[in-house]
Every structure is written in C-alpha cells, then in structure tokens.
Amino acid sequence: MKIHEYQARQLFREYGIPVPDDILCYTVEEVEAAAKKMNRMTVVKAQVLVGGRGKAGGVKLARTTEDAVSAAKQILGMDIKGCTVEKVLVADAVDIKKEYYVGLTIDRNTKSVLFMASAEGGVEIEEVAKVNPDAIHKIPIDPDLGMTDFMARKIAFKLFSDIAQVKQAADIFKKLYRIFMDTDASIVEINPLVVTNNDALSAIDGKMNFDDNALYRQAEIEKLNEPTEDEKKEIAAKASGLTYIRLDGNIGCMVNGAGLAMATMDVIKHFGGSPANFLDIGGSSNPQKVIDAMNLLMSDKNVKVIMINIFGGITRCDDVAKGLVTALDQLNVKIPIVIRLSGTNAEEGLKIIKAKNLPTVNSLSEAAQKAISLVN
C-alpha cells in the first residue's frame, strides 16, 4: 500500500521530523485561500501516487497568490504517468541550499533494514543508482540494536560536516527508523531532505509504502489508503475470494492455484504473449466464482482473449466444467475463450465443455499458443 506525500508529511510531523506547513486542496478556490493564508512563497504540488512529479510539471513554486492560482489551474486535472491529479498540496516553500536523499527499505541479503543516504538528493534515486552508484551510502541496521545514536551520527557524518547539521540529521534518521518499524513500512524516503538558507534541515518530500500483509495490525495506516482504480478492483476481487493483480498484457488468465497461475503467465510469456493479469480463483468449482472472475477479466478493456487453465486435484475437472458452463450460460462473453483442463476427471470435464461447443486444447503450451494466435 502506498500513501500520498501529504500523508507521509503528516506522519513525519507526528514523529517530530521538521516538515514545512501545508494545506491540502481540491479546487483552485481552495488553493487561492491557502496561498493567502500562508502569506509568503509557496509550492503547489500534485498529489499522485507516482514519483517524478517535479519533472512532469506537477511541482511549481509560487511567489504570489496569483502564481499559486495559475499553478493550481495547470496542475489540477493534469495527467502524471497515468494518474489524474485530483488534489494538490499548497506547502510553505523553503529556500534551498542543498538537497539530500534519505531512504529506508528492507534488504534481503543482509536480512535487515537498509538505510540509504546520498548527497545527490532531489533527482530520482534510481537515476543516481545507475549513473553514480557510489554516491549512495548503504548501511544495514542491526535489527537487535535498532538505530543507535552512534549509527545515526555515523550516517549523518557521511552527508554533513557542520556539527549542528549532523545533530539535526542524526535526530531525523532515528525518527525515520522508528516510523519505518512502527508502521511496518517497506519503503520510507525523504527526497529531498534539504538544508535551507537558515542552515536548518527540512523534509520537503515524503514517500512511504507499507507491507500489505501487515495491514491487519496497522489500522491507522490502513485508513490512509486511497486505492487507485486498479487497486479497487483488486480489493473487490479479494472480497469475492479471488486473488487478482492487473498487468499490462492482453491475455486474460483464469487459473486455479497461485503456483499454476504463475506458471501460466510464464508459459504465455515463453511463447511471446503477454498476460493481462494474475488471477487465482482458488480450489472450488463454485460457478459464482467463475462468474465473478469472468466479469473481472471482461472489465479490462485490454483483454482480447480469455485463457482458462484448470488443474483438477481435489477439485474434479467435471465439477469445474459444470461450473464453467453454468457461468458462461449466464454471461455474454464476446471475446474468444481457450480452455485447458487437466488432472482428476479431465476427460469427463472436456466432454462437458465440448458439448457446449467451447474450444478446448490438450496442453498448457497449446493453450498459450492458441490464445496468442487469437490475439493476433
């Protein structure tokens, strides 16, 4: 789960990290009122769940209320990497001396939280990682010790030489680590953390992602969720017992079992096709699940063909076939379907499918190739 910058800033504030004041706005009128209230230079910032807003024109400095209004007119409604801007943050702008990057994530190699810090802040860190990887300090944090004072200072000294700034930075780093641990985050980033003209440190952008599997114990964080259209579909799917992840391809997949669903996507890729989704309908033959799953697949405009791949284990293929037929009878499916059944009672199942004049195939490879040829 991701949250917006304005939400991350609020969390930072609650932990005592210095963040400039801001007001969230949904309309140009609200921006005007906010800019007047701030009564000095502001920065108008698109609130979308993607990075690189600055480059895309979604972050604009405004010296006057008029500037802020014209920035809001440009930014509200704008498209940034496929996200429409519905709200902007009007934030107190700071005069920047230098920008730094600070981020925490989980490192599988060291099995610990990895603290990343760089004096090359402001730009996208992925870019720094490519062009100048040595400019990013990476420090694993001992899970037993946590972020100790000496470690926080050690990292701070890598970025700053001025003692007052080292102290401020070390304090921010410790708080950032606490946020990361307290909220079951998977990423926390301040980019940029800046030194202002008054030599004070300030977090002027915030990014946070959370571990979805920990949300059950993070009620306060879960409340912050503002799902995208795709995520809303995934949540609805979960409620009807389906595990669905949308992808960019055009072959809609319906599979029973997560492992088989992964294998199905691999085989489609192997033959040069592109899956539109991951979809695990679980191990039942309940026609309602198939109906829900078909509706889900058909709601995706990119889906040109549906590939159903069922392996009968405890669930018998003839039961699944009956469920499929019941479901398809109730639906008006206009795109081609390819059905592969294998395992327990596969023959009986295929008979039922064939009796309904639905196309079947004999193997997973054949199913993938047929689906790909139907797309083309």
Interface with Mn ion by CB under 5 A: which range of 32-40, 142-150, 186-194, 224-232?
186-194
- In whole angstroms, give the CA distance from residue 147 to residue 174: 6
Return the number of the residue (74 or 288) whose C-beta is nearest ligand GDP: 74
Task: Please state the closest distance from residue 52 (CB atom) to ligand GDP, in A.
Answer: 5
Interface with Mn ion by CB under 5 A: which range of 134-142, 190-198, 241-249, 314-322?
190-198
Does residue 119 belong to the site contacting ligand GDP (CB under 6 A)? no
| Number of chain positions touching ligand GDP (CB under 6 A) | 17
Residue 326: CB partners within 8 Å, gap ≥ 6? 287, 290
Q: Which of 5, 189, 234, 244 is the catalytic position? A: 189
189 noted as active-site residue? yes
DSSP H helical segments within 160-286, as ranges?
163-182, 219-222, 229-239, 258-270
Span 28-57, contacts to ligand GDP by CB under 6 A: 43, 45, 51-54
Q: What are phi and psi of 211, to 5 degrees?
A: -75, 115
Among 42, 191, 202, 250, binds Mn ion (CB under 5 A): 191
Collapsing DSSP to helix, strand or coil, 246 comes out as strand
Collapsing DSSP to helix, strand or coil, 107 comes out as strand
Span 59-118, contacts to ligand GDP by CB under 6 A: 59, 61, 93-94, 96, 99
Which of ligand GDP, Mn ion, none has residue 343 at its interface (CB below 5 to 8 Å by kind)? Answer: none
Burial level of 120, CB count in 10 A (0-12/13-18/19+)? middle
Collapsing DSSP to helix, strand or coil, 135 comes out as helix
**C-alpha to C-alpha distances, 112 to 103, 109, 207, 213, 371, nearest whole angstrom:** 14, 8, 20, 18, 43
Return the number of the residue (96 or 335) whose C-beta is nearest ligand GDP: 96
Does residue 241 belong to the site contacting ligand GDP (CB under 6 A)? no
Task: Please state the closest distance from residue 95 (CB atom) to ligand GDP, in A.
Answer: 6
Task: Please state the closest distance from residue 35 (CB atom) to Mn ion, in A.
Answer: 21
Q: Which amino acid is at 135?
A: A
177 noted as active-site residue? no
Identify any residues that bridge with 206 across adjacent strands, giving them in sequence order: 190
Does residue 205 belong to the site contacting Mn ion (CB under 5 A)? yes
Task: Please state the closest distance from residue 322 (CB atom) to Mn ion, in A.
Answer: 54
Q: Are 235 and 199 in contact (CB under 8 A)?
A: no
State the binding string over 135-174 for ligand GDP (x if CB under 6 A, else -). ----------------------------------------
Q: Is the omega angle on the peptide bond into residue 20 within 30 degrees of 0, that is, cis?
A: no
Q: Which amino acid is at 302?
A: N
Return the number of the residue (192 or 252) whose C-beta is nearest ligand GDP: 192
Identify any residues that bridge with 166 across adjacent strands, giving them in sequence order: none
Does residue 336 belong to the site contacting ligand GDP (CB under 6 A)? no
Burial level of 168, CB count in 10 A (0-12/13-18/19+)? buried
Residue carrying the six token digits 């007001």: 23
Q: Which of 101, 177, 234, 244 is the catalytic position? A: 101
What are the residues binding Mn ion (CB under 5 A)?
A: 191, 205
Annotated catalytic sites, by residue? 101, 189
What are the residues binding ligand GDP (CB under 6 A)?
A: 43, 45, 51-54, 59, 61, 93-94, 96, 99, 122, 191-192, 204-205
